[in-house]
Structure 1
């Protein structure tokens, strides 16, 4: 049978089954992309996820599809990567969507909002609910198509130079907090600061800020925050399951062959799962190191949590009344969250609550 006729008749599934896929991949043109990351290069979790993605794309394409990964400042600042992708300055970025809530609050839902979904629920909403469909409709306005690119799992609430005993201690607190959650801190009397990760240690050390949140024990240990702030609070109620994404310029993506598009999808899914797996492996040991360094682990007071929840729900109602993009996505997200929490309160929470009380 003539090869061209075979491919046409068998379809892609038949080609794969016949073992001829490598020849097809090798027939593709060489592609070179640049990826702009929003994350510090020293973090092998977040920045490393972009590198892992690029490596997987290269492997799956037999080296034909190469993506160079660039830290903030190499091609553009951390918080300008959306503009870079939208304008096709770069083909792809790896970032947290909530950094860009100033363009439209709807960006935040694509990453994490206060008292939102946990990581498993976020993945479920994205892949099996309406999340990917709704967010892609929204991102289309920015010439972007998104692919999930990782999740950290629930985060810590950050490092504080002084103890937070009640809501009164939130007043006037100069707090570096990423993206959208700063709106809630502001409503609680704090003063949010939106700084890139690479600037946080210096700002804490100099007292330019009173507190800073980043991710969790492993990354925080690497960035050295315990040396300049002794109180380490939890939970990070604004990031119960923050997702990061690969943002790809729509024209760049559409120019790819179907096989290369499939490689992007497969590599992003691999990266998405692998990132949280890595965090779950490395965080316990890092937490032990921080405890040994005399870090004071503190839980947020109940009145702080209750006020944060109240202000969050009020803000979401206000935004829904004026932003149709937000309203459309948030209504679906909120309905999904309600059903998920109804389920998780039984088997998942019941099991976790028991196991975390045990001493092995």
Structure 2
């Protein structure tokens, strides 16, 4: 099935539906959980599409991170009605419910392309919506994807688990707990404080995003080592969440249009962030040409240990959290289904010679 064609068909079908009586025009404020491309292409891209597809009936003013509260608590900001909408990452609520790690992305979870299968074909969308409403009382619309990240920008080289032990690492989500089990000392701080923490030596290393955003953030200018692959975070999902009272005031047609905006923004973000990361990876190598930076690949023994620790952690959470178990089993079913994908498709990338 052609991905672009399916999205176009979905948009066309909904746009051709008969319009019900119009509700009053509304203007929402959107809190945001992160800056950079998540703000520029994620939050603002969603807001622009909502305005377009609702023909201006729903306008969203996107706020900078931290202006309406902590970027780590945007779910509460929306639930409390401080903002009608927000972007959020599931890992930020795992202190309340560990299921957030499964929704936001975790080390043993879905890679960028795999989210589309789980969310739109394998029931993930309904699970996310039900979980968000039951646990937090907000409407959830997946609206932005996350790329596979660089594992670390670090002042110290890391290749093995022994190198990792005792390392002070800025991280978040599931990896904050899993990395601690592997011997690291983890620190959870918002992304807008990450550069300063690394520069001042509050942490030895950090993970934040993919090559595109990390290059723009300048971490390579203050830490010598650039370490891959991103075993801590296969990729993730950003949700655009909406206050239930604000949502209920929309017409049924405009609700559908807001959903359409989220779906298309999710697809577009995959391509956009992939392009930014390819460009950022090249720029990181150009910047390192003078010897200021060194690229390191994790030993396979580290990768294997991280994967085992991640799966052990997930199985432990599933044993005492029904929502976590439900999400985990659903994602693992999608991954098992996709095992056969490589049997009939060609790999991505490479010159066709």
Note whether the superposition's TM-score is higher than 0.5.
yes
2:84 matched to 1:91? yes
- 1:160, 1:315 → 2: CA distance? 25
Q: Give the 4+ runs in structure 1 shifted more than 3 A.
A: 12-17, 44-48
2:180 matched to 1:186? yes
Question: For residue 16 of structure 1, what is the aligned residue in structure 2?
Answer: 16
- 2:268, 2:180 → 1: CA distance? 34
Encode CA deviations 1:196-253: one digit per residue, 9 max, x unaligned.
1111111001110011111111111111100111211112123222111111122321
Question: For residue 351 of structure 1, what is the aligned residue in structure 2?
Answer: 347
Gapped regions of structure 1 (runs ≥ 5): 1-11
| The 10-residue stretch of structure 1 (277-286 or 93-102) with the greater mean CA deviation from structure 2 | 277-286
For the Cα contact (< 8 Å) 2:106–2:173, is it kept in 1?
Answer: no
- 1:163, 1:36 → 2: CA distance? 37
TM-score, normalising length from structure 2? 0.89
Instruction: Output aligned runs, 1:1-360, within 5 Å.
Output: 16=16, 27-40=22-35, 43-141=36-134, 142-294=136-288, 295-340=293-338, 342-348=339-345, 351-352=347-348, 355-356=349-350
For the Cα contact (< 8 Å) 2:14–2:257, is it kept in 1?
Answer: no
Larger CA Rg, structure 1 vs 2: 1
For the Cα contact (< 8 Å) 1:93–1:248, is it kept in 2?
Answer: yes
1:13 Cα deviation (Å)? 7.3
- 1:57, 1:15 → 2: CA distance? 13
- 1:13, 1:238 → 2: CA distance? 39
Gapped regions of structure 2 (runs ≥ 5): 1-11
- 1:148, 1:252 → 2: CA distance? 18
Query: Quick one: structure 1 residues 117 and 13, their matched pair in 2 at CA, closer, same or farther if it must change by over 3 Å?
Result: closer
- 1:327, 1:312 → 2: CA distance? 14
- 2:118, 2:251 → 1: CA distance? 28
For the Cα contact (< 8 Å) 1:35–1:94, is it kept in 2?
Answer: yes
Query: Quick one: structure 1 residues 335 and 44, their matched pair in 2 at CA, closer, same or farther if it must change by over 3 Å?
Result: closer
- 1:97, 1:181 → 2: CA distance? 13
For the Cα contact (< 8 Å) 2:53–2:258, is it kept in 1?
Answer: no
For the Cα contact (< 8 Å) 1:56–1:267, is it kept in 2?
Answer: yes
1:359 Cα deviation (Å)? 9.0
For the Cα contact (< 8 Å) 1:101–1:108, is it kept in 2?
Answer: yes
Aligned pair count reads 337
- 1:76, 1:52 → 2: CA distance? 22
Encode CA deviations 1:88-142: one digit per residue, 9 max, x unaligned.
2211111211121111110111111112111121121111112111122211121
Query: Quick one: structure 1 residues 13 and 326, their matched pair in 2 at CA, closer, same or farther if it must change by over 3 Å?
Result: closer
- 1:47, 1:257 → 2: CA distance? 28
1:82 Cα deviation (Å)? 0.8
Q: Secondary structure at the match of 1:293?
A: helix
Alignment RMSD (CA, Å):
2.2
1:335 Cα deviation (Å)? 2.0
Q: Secondary structure at the match of 1:165?
A: coil
